[in-house]
Structure 1
Amino acid sequence: MVYTTFIILAAPATNTDMSLWGMVVKGGWLMIPIFILSIIAIYIACERYWLFRKTGINDVAFMQKIKEYIQNDNMKAVLAECEAEASPLSKTIAKGIVMQGEAPSEIRQAMEETANYEVALLEKGLPTLATCAGVAPMIGFLGTVVGMVQAFYDMSMAGSNIDITLLSRGIYTAMITTVAGLIVGIIGQLAYNFLVARVDKIVLRIEHHSSEFINLCLRKK
């Protein structure tokens, strides 16, 4: 009996680590719009977060001063305090002071219109952030399709000499663009939901303090 021994020689280990830049390059040209969307999303998220963080910090102290001025019938001081504060709440209160002497329903309506305008300014950029969060994954999936098309094209051109290395370009494009698009989409969606929740809290504070201001003015009459 003849015994045949098969000896498997292990190939020496090679360093296959890939840098982040190398992954981006292998992702192809579709990484460019995904990168642009990520920059836009990060900028809007950071800019709005910083603005929202400053908005409403001094609401309680501001309203305490307003109450004291109204109780002393010092409306000029109220307007001066509103101008110094320059917040959505202070601008809403200032509108109510300007409308003094009108019917309570008209004062409330004018204050609501001012508050709506200020809230619209706070929401500036959020639709763009939502668009970035939605479009980035779609571009990533487009990269998947483009990568698969490229892979099948390379297979057809290779004929019977198909090698896995021939498919690497299309597979890299498919996988890397998908991962990049999903990362941008997830981060953008989380940032959008967080900022929308902050806007809702600001709106509730404005409504609460506005009603408080109107009731205080009615009691003074």
Structure 2
Amino acid sequence: MNETTQLDSLAGIVNESTSMSMFELLAQGGILMIPIFLLSLVALYVVIERLLVLGNSKVQIDDFLTDVEGHMKRGEPRLAIQYCEDMDKPLSRIVKGGLTRLGRSLRDIEEGI
């Protein structure tokens, strides 16, 4: 009987020590846990912000290329170049470099891009 009681009390102690809350774990880490926690929040913010920005840029790229293609199909290369200048994004500068060299050799166009 005595051994069973001791085992039960040991099991209770083990269960109490292993069931710590997240706050208790942070508190045990001391003062160094504060900057670690704050930096993890900053990292989470940066990841979410980048995902949102990059997700939106894909839509903008598709719209941009569709608009440039539309200008070119209608025979309006000047409007396509102007549209690229108005956008002022890295992709628009690359496309503009190619459009301004239309009619030249493929090598010249590639160098412009």
For normalisation by structure 2, the TM-score amounts to 0.62
Contact 1:69 1:75 in 2 (8 A): yes
Task: Tell me which residue corresponds to 2:44.
Answer: 42
Q: Compared with structure 1, are the counterparts of its residues 86 and 57 closer, same or farther at alpha carbon in structure 2 (3 Å cutoff)? A: farther
Q: What is the count of residue pairs matched by the alignment? A: 106
SS state at 2:39 partner: helix
In the alignment, the residues of structure 2 paired with residue 25 and residue 52 of structure 1 have an alpha-carbon distance, to the nearest angstrom, of 37
Give the counterpart letter for 1:26 in structure 2: Q
In the alignment, the residues of structure 2 paired with residue 42 and residue 22 of structure 1 have an alpha-carbon distance, to the nearest angstrom, of 22
Q: Compared with structure 1, are the counterparts of its residues 106 and 38 closer, same or farther at alpha carbon in structure 2 (3 Å cutoff)? A: farther
Q: Compared with structure 1, are the counterparts of its residues 43 and 69 closer, same or farther at alpha carbon in structure 2 (3 Å cutoff)? A: same
Higher helix fraction: Structure 1 or Structure 2? 2
Q: Compared with structure 1, are the counterparts of its residues 88 and 31 closer, same or farther at alpha carbon in structure 2 (3 Å cutoff)? A: same
Contact 1:70 1:78 in 2 (8 A): yes
SS state at 1:37 partner: helix
Q: Output the aligned Cα RMSD.
A: 3.4
Higher RCO (CA < 8 A, seq sep 6+): 1
Q: Compared with structure 1, are the counterparts of its residues 110 and 21 closer, same or farther at alpha carbon in structure 2 (3 Å cutoff)? A: farther
In the alignment, the residues of structure 2 paired with residue 44 and residue 63 of structure 1 have an alpha-carbon distance, to the nearest angstrom, of 28
1:18-39: CA deviation from partner (whole Å, max 9, x where unpaired): 3322210102233234324312
Q: Does structure 1 residue 92 correspond to structure 2 residue 99?
A: no
In the alignment, the residues of structure 2 paired with residue 103 and residue 32 of structure 1 have an alpha-carbon distance, to the nearest angstrom, of 61
Alignment of 1:182-201 (within 5 A): none
SS state at 1:57 partner: helix
In the alignment, the residues of structure 2 paired with residue 42 and residue 58 of structure 1 have an alpha-carbon distance, to the nearest angstrom, of 25
Q: Compared with structure 1, are the counterparts of its residues 72 and 22 closer, same or farther at alpha carbon in structure 2 (3 Å cutoff)? A: same
1:74-109: CA deviation from partner (whole Å, max 9, x where unpaired): 123213433555554333212323444655323323
Unaligned runs of 5+ in 2: none
Give the C-alpha shift of residue 110 in structure 1. Answer: 3.1
Q: Compared with structure 1, are the counterparts of its residues 109 and 38 closer, same or farther at alpha carbon in structure 2 (3 Å cutoff)? A: farther
Q: Compared with structure 1, are the counterparts of its residues 58 and 6 closer, same or farther at alpha carbon in structure 2 (3 Å cutoff)? A: closer
Unaligned runs of 5+ in 1: 112-221
Q: Compared with structure 1, are the counterparts of its residues 24 and 65 closer, same or farther at alpha carbon in structure 2 (3 Å cutoff)? A: same
Alignment of 1:23-172 (within 5 A): 23-83=25-85, 85=87, 87-100=89-102, 103-111=105-113
The sequence identity of aligned pairs, in percent, is 25
SS state at 2:58 partner: coil
Instruction: Tell me which moved more, 22-31 or 93-102.
Output: 93-102
For normalisation by structure 1, the TM-score amounts to 0.37
